[in-house]
Structures are given as structure tokens and as C-alpha cells.
Amino acid sequence: MGNEVVSKSPLWGTADFDMAEPEGERQWGAIGKFRLVGSGKEKDGRCGDYLTLLGCLDVEAHSGVHFNKDGSMENFHGKGYFRVVRHSCNRPQCPTCCESWAYRTAKVVEAKLFEASKTRGKVEHIIVSVPVEDYGLDYKVLRAKVLDVARSRGVNGGCVVFHAFRYDKHKHWYLGLHFHIAGFISGGYGRCRSCRQQFCSKCDGFEGVELRARENDGYVVKVASAGEERKSIFATMVYELGHATYLDGVRNFRIVTYFGTCSYRKLKVVVKLPKAVCGICGGELRPVLYTGANANLISLKAEVAKSRGSFEFLNDVYENGELVWSYIETPYRSRFGEEF
């Protein structure tokens, strides 16, 4: 793992914390059975390989001047928008596909919590930090205790993500067990968010309840960015999933789980993931075929072949007045030139 500082629990040496491997051979992103997402191996040699090319050829919708996010202006007249789609195993362990897994999972969480918020109030980002004396607990026992702790503070349901590591620019990744919950607080958090008093010990709001309960169980439960409204469930989940933890050797270990009012039994939501859309007009992307002879696309093909991440580009739909891009009906069979 490189530069690593670990605070050892008095219960060090249990199954989840077996540190038998020599210091110099310790795997990156791993302590005992705990693994950072993306620190495992690819499922097969196809992860990240080119799969298909999607595009939007609606030049009428693309015509005119558009403002970019940085405030600059750009004219997309006659341009098509194209996106390379790559094969993904959709596994959090995979160093190549963990990012696409995080985005896909965050979309599902966002959809479920958005539906739940219609009757359960505002979604809050809650962090439950585990005291060091409980670091040696079996994971299932620990998770159950953490949810009981959250309920004791008034957290009645939500989505749970496990983190075994914290990051510091001096320590880098080090052991620090905690759970992130995107969920709901009974009575909401608005009262505490707008409160300006300094003393919560006798208040029956969330912060007062948490302060008194912490003295009994040693767990610290806080609302992230307590002074602000939660701006984006999706962005929050992408970030937290990006450095979440799984247990090595545990088959079908679930990094994301739901509990309480958002459990699978109480919240039944069928999530349909959004289709890929054009970055210019927002139209749905479809498989496309290139039949032109632009030499500049040769270097683009090489760039795509070397890249392993997402890849988007613009290109003229017409060359010398001739249409060189067209939609094709068979998905995942498109070709960019003869070999792409």
C-alpha cells in the first residue's frame, strides 16, 4: 500500500484483520480482508475493450452557437456527436470497470432515494464512525450494530456504503472504519441546520440526541456538510463509491445495501437506467457507421485504441457534401472504418 499508517485495534488478529503477509508484500489498497474498490483483478481480458460506437447525427439540433460549461462559445453546425462504448464487467473489484460500476450504481441509488423522498422528506448524507474497540467485530455483526446506532439517532432508513479506509495527504490510505448513509432522519434535519445555538446537550433535535447517545456507545454520527442542503445524491454517491470497501474472498459481497424505510421490502422501485444521450442536444445516442475517408480519423482510431476510459468526440457528418455517417439498426455491431 505504500506509505501507510494504521492504528491497530486491541482486537487485532481476528479474521478480517489478519496481517500475516510481510510488510513489503502488502497489496495496494488492502488491509487484511478489506479491499478498496478497483484494487482487484479484471474479470477477463475484455474489460475496457472497444464494444461499439454511438452517435447523434441531428445536425439541425446542433446548429448555432452553444455555451459550454466554462462560458466559452462554440458552433456545432454540421457536427455529429460520438461516444465510444467499452466492455464492462460492472464489478467494483475491477481496476478498469470500477468507475463505470460506480456511475451505474449511483444512478440506481439516486432513482430509489428520489422516489423515497416523495414521502420521507429530504435525503441527508450521514456518516457513522466506528470506535476502535469495535474494529475486531465480524463485518455482519458490525453492520447490524452500526444500523442500530443510526436508528438510535433517528435515522429511519436509507442506502448504506461501507468504508474501511480514510485518506490523509500525509498518511495516505489508513484504517478507519466508517459507514456512509444516504437516507432520512425522523423529523428531518432542518431544525438543526438552521439552529445557531452552541449548546445541544438538552435539545431533542438530531444533534442533541446524537451528543447524548455518543457518550453511551462511543459512535460518532454526523451529517456531512450539516450547514448546507444536499445538492446532488448522484454526485455524492459516485464520490463515496469511488473509494468504498469490499471484503476479499466473500462471494457476492454487497457494497451498497438498504435498510429501514428504504429496505427492499418497504421500498419497491423498478429502476430503468437512462440511455446514453448527446452531449450537445440531449438526444438519444444510437449505433452509427462511418463510411468516409478522412485521414485525420486514423490518428483518432489509434488514440481510442490506446485509451481505456470514456471517449467522446465531434466530427463532420458530411465530407465534400456527401453524408459519411449513418445510423445502423443492429446494436453493438457498428464499425468505425473497417476495423474499429
- C-alpha–C-alpha distance, residues 248 and 164, integer Å: 12
Q: Rounded to whole angstroms, how far apart are CA atoms 285 and 279?
A: 10
**pLDDT at res. 247:** 94
Query: How many Cα atoms occupy the beta-carbon half-sphere of 25 within 13 Å?
Result: 4
Contact 249, 122 (CB under 8 A): no
Q: Where are the alpha helices (DSSP H) in the chain?
A: 59-62, 98-120, 139-152, 190-193, 206-217, 233-241, 296-306
Nearest of 51, 49, 48 to residue 331 by alpha carbon = 51
Q: What is the pLDDT of residue 22?
A: 34
Give per-residue pLDDT as tens, 37-90. 998 888 888 888 878 889 999 999 898 767 766 777 778 889 999 988 888 888
CA angle, corner 172, sides to 166 and 178, nearest 5?
5
CA separation for the pair 340, 336 (Å, rounded): 4
- Residue 84: C-alpha distances to residues 48, 80, 94, 288, 298 (Å): 11, 13, 20, 11, 15
- Give the ranges where 153-205 is alpha helix by DSSP (H): 190-193
DSSP state letter for 200: -
Strands, E assignment, 100-140? 124-129
The answer to whether the Cα torsion of 194, 197, 203, 209 is positive or negative is: positive
- Predicted pLDDT at 229: 64
Joined grid coordinates for residue 103: 456511475
> In the chain, which residues have pLDDT < 70?
1-28, 65, 68-69, 171, 198-199, 226-230, 297-310, 330-340
Instruction: State residue 254's pLDDT score.
Output: 93
